[in-house]
Structure formats: C-alpha cells, structure tokens
Structure 1
C-alpha cells in the first residue's frame, strides 16, 4: 500500500476493553485535543528541541490519546511513531531542517486496514491528551540503520495492512502502530525485511506486554469494536507497548536512553490541573 501524507489526524475512539496501544485513525479527519492549538504547537517544538539537543537523528516517540486511568494496567501510551531528522521543503520553496513523523494509522472508515503516513510534530501532539510523551532514543548505530531504512522507504516491506487494535507481535497476521515500530527495529537489528524471519526472531527475543481481559471482553470485545481481532492470540492477549519495546531495546543494547518529556505549558500558573474531558474520543 503506498505511503500517504496526512495533514490533520484524528485521535482514536476507544471504548472499554479497547484501550490497548493502537494505530490511530487518519484520512484527513480533524484531531481532537483538550489543549489549545498554541499549547500543542509549543509542546511539539519543545520535543523537537530536546531531541535535537541530544543529537537524535531518529527517535521513537509515544503519546496517549486516552487519560491514564482509562488505560490497561502497565500501558502509558496509545500511539508511537518514528521522529526523523529531515530536510524539509517549505511552501516558498526554501529548505530547512526539522523532524518528520513516520506513523502507521488505520483508515477512519475501513478501520481494519492501515496505511503508512508521514506528517509533522504538531499533528502528533494534537492527538495527545495528557501533555507528556515517552521517548526511546536508539543507539547511534541503530539510528543510522533506522534513518537509512526510513529515508529509502525500506520500511514499506514491513507494513502489514491488516490491522488489529491488539495485534500479537509474535504473529504476522495483523499489525498496529507499535508493532510496526517493533518490526522496523527488528529489521534494522537483524538486517532483514523478511517478516517471517523477523517474527521467528521476535518469538525468541521479544517479550510482549500482557493485556488483562475478563471472559466477557474475550468473548464480546470484537462485537463492540471491529478493530479487535483475536485470531492471532492463543492463551493470553499480549501486544507491543512503549515499555515492552523499551525493555527489548535496553536489554539488547539497541537504545541509548528511555525517558519522558512533560509539556512545559502544564507548569504555567494558568494551566488547569487537568484538561476538561469534553470528548470520549482520544
């Protein structure tokens, strides 16, 4: 499926059980954010400055489109993407440098199918509802490999368009945004884009995060949200999260650091303790 560019992106609608890490909907829908667009823009610039100060050519950045109490235990973020230091052409034809954001999104209407999209830091922070992001900074060698893959669109070979909200990273049938990040990391690590080989390697070396679900959710989850597909799970529901990816990269010396960035605007005296929960989406 060809890579597509998205200008404005919507945050994902999640209900009940469907609060695992996800690819968010795209196709030009307006994002929903509890923050003023000026604050989101300031936050996006803050993240860019902090990444640039660390000399990051490629970083994995994660946001949450849901409030923390609405997420499963052990899950802090709902969407991850690659931030890549790039040369950017402006509307007047001049060129500058900044971060381009490489995502996997599911379509807004065909929610069981995903596509790859390159957009910008502001698109990313407009989908955030908590004013905090998680960052995994790959090692210098991993950044070099990832930069080459993303610059040449080699990651296209790793895209599985059949989407599941809670895809099992040990199974090749489905993929969500965080599993896409994992597959690209694995491809750069083992220097192969053969997905069957990547999945075999991950079965040995990667420990997914368990997602606890009661009997009701296991039986009726798919009827509540069509993005939930259970065929790739066996005895337990396990998926890719910020923390499981960070653990994998730290354990195998693929990362230089893992940390979180809090939006500076949250510390202003006029900022409420928490944004209004004006919408069930996120």
Structure 2
C-alpha cells in the first residue's frame, strides 16, 4: 500500500535525480561558448587573486535556480588553491587549481577526488554565477596544511548521496566533504567522530523541502539518492549553510558572488 510518507520520498528522489546530474559531476554538456567559460573562469581567479586568497571555497550552479529546491542556489562546491602551473611550453604561471569531490558518471552512487582547474569546474554550468567563501588568514593556513596531508584523502567517503546528511557517516556529497575538511582544519584533527560531533553541535544544515505530495508510479528511484543516513527529516550541507557557519565562527571570513556583472559582497543571513 502506498502511504503519504512513501509518496513524499518518491517525490523527493525524483526532484533530486533531476538536479544531481550536472551538479557534482565533472564536465557536462557546455551551455556557453568556450570563450565565455574561459573568460568567466579567469574572472573568478582574478577576484580570488585580488583578495590575496591562498585557498577558497568555490561553488557553481549546475542547474537554473528555478529547478532547485527551496533554500538551494549552488549545486557543487570545491576548494580553489593558489598554485604554480606548468604550461605546455615549459613556463610556470600562477593559477588556481580546483580540489573536488566529483560524482562518478558511470556509477552515480560513488564519488572520487580529483584536481582540475576553474575552466573545467565551470565547463557545464547552467548559469555563470559563482559563490566564493574566503576563510580567515588563519583558517586558510590550516586548510592548506590539511589538503597537503593524508587527512584530505582519509576524509573522503566514496559512498555518494546527493542529499547526504552532514551529521552522520556512511554517505557523503561534495558539500559535506568540504565541511568535513573545514572542520578537520579548524580542529586540526583527522578524527571523523570528533568532526561529526562538532558539526552536529555547531553547524546548521539545510532542510530538504519539497512541494505538495503527489502519488508517483513507476521506477523513479535514482542510484545517487538514499535516505539510509537520514534518521529524521532530511537535511544536507549547502554552500549557503557553510557560508553562514564560517560567518559565525571564523572571524574575518568573507563571502562573494561573481557573475557576468561586477562581483558583489554577500552578507550571509542569520547570526
């Protein structure tokens, strides 16, 4: 028998199966001319460089805002790290490298870690809109140390869910991974139990809300969605909730938005 609760979860899974693709996967079908993607990527890098950022959290829009659930704007986040990159002709140039958790194209319930570049990161976006979090100088120092240590790889859980619960273990998405790395850096620990305890105590996750319930038949379950790590009403980490978290607890952190228009500062809502 179909229950209201069962219908709720089917509707939820359908919604996220539509938004997960092109959200946390590498590449994707380009929606803009290559020269526009390159120009936008360079604008993001120039913005980071002008702020003197050695490391920052960068988010992208894999879907238009109209297709995302309430409270969601960006669909994927990773770390941008100031680096020296060797060109094909042997030159060494300053640039930002992206450190990502990507969902596997051929196995959507699994993820992997990879380093690429902003032009790759923004290649398949639906909107040329980037969110940037610039941590304080001290947290940037700690984050760089964490990324360079075995802790970074150790925090990766390859069992992927688009709505992974940041308070529990067993499933992970890109934003939960970013949050775990941030807290590993803050507390200078690789102890995942301590990291999860601090997140449960201090981090406010985003409720996953859906519209009116609707009875849906057929095979609507997606491999990249599971609720095994959701003991109650579903919650997940987002770029916005991470921004609010650092705004509250990391004095000196800054949030910016970069679009085709001049970039603007963003004051996260809440305390």
| Global fold match (TM > 0.5) | yes
Query: 2:24 matched to 1:24?
Result: yes
Aligned equivalent of 1:47: 44
Whole-Å separation in 2 of the counterparts to 1:49 and 1:221 = 48
Q: CA deviation at 1:78?
A: 0.3
Q: CA deviation at 1:95?
A: 1.6
Instruction: Give matches, 1:72-83, under 5 Å.
Output: 72-83=69-80
Q: TM-score, normalised by structure 2?
A: 0.85
Whole-Å separation in 2 of the counterparts to 1:233 and 1:69 = 26
Number of aligned pairs?
A: 249
Distance 1:239 1:218, change over 3 A: farther
Counterpart of 2:95 (choices 90, 94, 98) is: 98
Q: CA deviation at 1:125?
A: 1.4
Query: 2:143 matched to 1:140?
Result: no
Measured on the aligned residues, the alpha-carbon RMSD in Å equals 2.5
Comparing 206-215 with 170-179, greater Cα deviation is found at 206-215
Q: List alignment gaps of at least 5 residues for structure 2.
A: 1-12, 263-271
Whole-Å separation in 1 of the counterparts to 2:101 and 2:149 = 17
Query: 2:269 matched to 1:257?
Result: no
Counterpart of 2:53 (choices 26, 51, 56) is: 56
1:213-264 alpha-carbon deviations (Å, 9 max, x no partner): 3686899899431111101112211000111101111111255211211125
Q: List alignment gaps of at least 5 residues for structure 1.
A: 1-13, 266-282
Aligned equivalent of 1:172: 169
Aligned equivalent of 2:64: 67
Q: TM-score, normalised by structure 1?
A: 0.82
1:44-71 alpha-carbon deviations (Å, 9 max, x no partner): 0000001000000001010011011000
Counterpart of 1:151 (choices 148, 151, 166) is: 148
Distance 1:247 1:228, change over 3 A: same
Instruction: Describe the SS at the equivalent of 1:136.
Output: strand
Distance 1:103 1:258, change over 3 A: same
